[in-house]
Protein backbone atom coordinates (compact mmCIF):
# COMPACT_ATOMS: atom_id res chain seq x y z
CA UNK A 1 0.00 0.00 0.00
CA UNK A 2 2.80 2.44 0.90
CA UNK A 3 4.62 1.67 -2.35
CA UNK A 4 1.42 2.42 -4.27
CA UNK A 5 1.10 5.84 -2.57
CA UNK A 6 4.72 6.67 -3.32
CA UNK A 7 4.20 5.76 -6.98
CA UNK A 8 1.06 7.92 -7.22
CA UNK A 9 2.90 10.83 -5.59
CA UNK A 10 5.87 10.48 -7.93
CA UNK A 11 3.51 10.34 -10.93
CA UNK A 12 1.72 13.50 -9.80
CA UNK A 13 4.98 15.38 -9.21
CA UNK A 14 6.15 14.39 -12.70
CA UNK A 15 2.82 15.21 -14.38
CA UNK A 16 2.87 18.98 -13.79
CA UNK A 17 5.90 20.81 -15.28
CA UNK A 18 5.36 23.86 -13.05
CA UNK A 19 6.15 21.69 -10.01
CA UNK A 20 9.57 21.01 -11.50
CA UNK A 21 10.07 24.73 -12.22
CA UNK A 22 9.30 25.52 -8.58
CA UNK A 23 11.56 22.71 -7.38
CA UNK A 24 8.69 21.26 -5.36
CA UNK A 25 9.15 17.85 -3.78
CA UNK A 26 7.17 15.84 -1.24
CA UNK A 27 7.83 13.28 1.46
CA UNK A 28 5.55 10.57 2.77
CA UNK A 29 5.57 9.42 6.38
CA UNK A 30 2.83 6.87 6.84
CA UNK A 31 -0.33 8.45 5.50
CA UNK A 32 0.93 12.04 5.93
CA UNK A 33 2.47 13.92 3.04
CA UNK A 34 4.61 17.01 3.50
CA UNK A 35 5.24 19.15 0.43
CA UNK A 36 8.53 21.02 0.29
CA UNK A 37 9.31 24.19 -1.65
CA UNK A 38 13.06 24.85 -1.41
CA UNK A 39 14.01 28.50 -1.70
CA UNK A 40 15.35 29.63 -5.08
CA UNK A 41 16.05 33.24 -6.20
CA UNK A 42 13.64 32.97 -9.16
CA UNK A 43 10.74 32.50 -6.70
CA UNK A 44 11.14 35.95 -5.12
CA UNK A 45 8.37 38.46 -5.84
CA UNK A 46 9.46 41.31 -3.57
CA UNK A 47 13.23 41.79 -3.62
CA UNK A 48 13.10 44.50 -0.95
CA UNK A 49 12.01 42.12 1.85
CA UNK A 50 12.87 39.57 0.08
CA UNK A 51 9.65 37.55 -0.03
CA UNK A 52 8.31 34.73 -2.15
CA UNK A 53 5.91 35.74 -4.91
CA UNK A 54 2.26 35.35 -3.87
CA UNK A 55 1.55 33.38 -7.04
CA UNK A 56 4.31 30.94 -6.17
CA UNK A 57 2.84 30.41 -2.71
CA UNK A 58 -0.67 30.01 -4.13
CA UNK A 59 0.49 27.51 -6.75
CA UNK A 60 2.46 25.59 -4.11
CA UNK A 61 -0.66 25.31 -1.95
CA UNK A 62 -2.84 24.21 -4.86
CA UNK A 63 -0.33 21.61 -6.01
CA UNK A 64 0.01 20.31 -2.45
CA UNK A 65 -3.75 19.71 -2.46
CA UNK A 66 -3.56 17.88 -5.79
CA UNK A 67 -0.69 15.71 -4.56
CA UNK A 68 -2.55 14.83 -1.36
CA UNK A 69 -5.58 13.77 -3.38
CA UNK A 70 -3.36 11.54 -5.53
CA UNK A 71 -1.78 9.99 -2.43
CA UNK A 72 -5.07 9.45 -0.64
CA UNK A 73 -6.64 7.18 -3.24
CA UNK A 74 -6.23 6.13 -6.86
CA UNK A 75 -7.91 8.55 -9.23
CA UNK A 76 -9.00 7.88 -12.79
CA UNK A 77 -7.99 11.38 -13.87
CA UNK A 78 -5.99 14.23 -12.49
CA UNK A 79 -8.32 16.37 -10.33
CA UNK A 80 -9.36 19.74 -11.73
CA UNK A 81 -9.55 22.84 -9.58
CA UNK A 82 -13.09 24.18 -9.20
CA UNK A 83 -12.28 27.04 -6.83
CA UNK A 84 -9.72 28.02 -4.23
CA UNK A 85 -9.56 30.67 -1.56
CA UNK A 86 -6.09 31.62 -0.40
CA UNK A 87 -5.36 33.47 2.81
CA UNK A 88 -1.96 35.16 2.84
CA UNK A 89 -1.19 35.39 6.54
CA UNK A 90 2.40 36.73 6.57
CA UNK A 91 5.22 37.21 4.04
CA UNK A 92 6.86 34.01 2.84
CA UNK A 93 10.52 34.79 3.47
CA UNK A 94 13.41 33.66 1.29
CA UNK A 95 13.70 30.19 2.82
CA UNK A 96 12.29 26.69 2.46
CA UNK A 97 8.51 26.45 2.79
CA UNK A 98 6.54 23.37 3.84
CA UNK A 99 2.86 22.47 3.44
CA UNK A 100 0.42 19.81 4.50
CA UNK A 101 -3.03 19.17 3.11
CA UNK A 102 -6.05 17.86 4.96
CA UNK A 103 -8.70 16.26 2.78
CA UNK A 104 -11.84 17.28 4.61
CA UNK A 105 -14.28 15.35 2.40
CA UNK A 106 -14.18 13.24 -0.72
CA UNK A 107 -17.50 12.80 -2.44
CA UNK A 108 -18.30 10.93 -5.61
CA UNK A 109 -17.28 13.89 -7.77
CA UNK A 110 -15.86 16.65 -5.57
CA UNK A 111 -13.19 16.84 -2.87
CA UNK A 112 -12.87 19.57 -0.25
CA UNK A 113 -9.26 20.20 0.81
CA UNK A 114 -7.57 22.54 3.30
CA UNK A 115 -3.82 23.27 3.04
CA UNK A 116 -1.48 25.21 5.33
CA UNK A 117 2.05 26.33 4.49
CA UNK A 118 4.70 27.34 7.01
CA UNK A 119 8.41 28.05 7.22
CA UNK A 120 9.92 28.05 10.70
CA UNK A 121 7.03 26.79 12.82
CA UNK A 122 3.98 24.87 11.71
CA UNK A 123 1.92 26.79 14.28
CA UNK A 124 2.70 30.05 12.38
CA UNK A 125 1.46 29.46 8.82
CA UNK A 126 2.40 31.88 6.04
CA UNK A 127 -0.66 30.98 3.96
CA UNK A 128 -3.68 28.70 3.84
CA UNK A 129 -5.88 27.39 1.05
CA UNK A 130 -9.42 26.05 1.02
CA UNK A 131 -10.41 24.46 -2.24
CA UNK A 132 -12.84 22.28 -4.12
CA UNK A 133 -11.55 19.88 -6.74
CA UNK A 134 -13.44 17.93 -9.40
CA UNK A 135 -12.40 14.28 -9.19
CA UNK A 136 -14.18 12.92 -12.24
CA UNK A 137 -17.02 13.61 -14.60
CA UNK A 138 -19.65 10.87 -15.00
CA UNK A 139 -19.51 9.27 -18.44
CA UNK A 140 -22.96 10.57 -19.46
CA UNK A 141 -21.96 14.19 -18.71
CA UNK A 142 -18.51 13.78 -20.28
CA UNK A 143 -20.08 12.66 -23.56
CA UNK A 144 -22.14 15.87 -23.79
CA UNK A 145 -19.15 18.23 -23.70
Domain residue spans of the chain:
2-144
pLDDT digits 0-9 by tens, 83-139: 999 999 999 999 999 999 999 999 989 999 999 999 999 999 999 999 999 997 655
> pTM of the entire structure?
0.90
pLDDT digits 0-9 by tens, 12-33: 999 889 999 999 999 998 878 9
Q: Is 112 exposed, middle or buried (0-12, 13-18, 19+ CB in 10 A)?
A: middle
User: In the CATH scheme, what architecture does the domain 2-144 have?
Assistant: Roll (3.10)
In angstroms, the CA 26 to CA 98 distance is 9
pLDDT at position 90? 95
Amino acid sequence: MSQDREERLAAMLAAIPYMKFLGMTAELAGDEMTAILPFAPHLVGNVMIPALHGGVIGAFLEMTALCQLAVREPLRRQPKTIDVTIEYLRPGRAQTTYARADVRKIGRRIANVHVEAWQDHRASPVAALRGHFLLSVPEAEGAKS
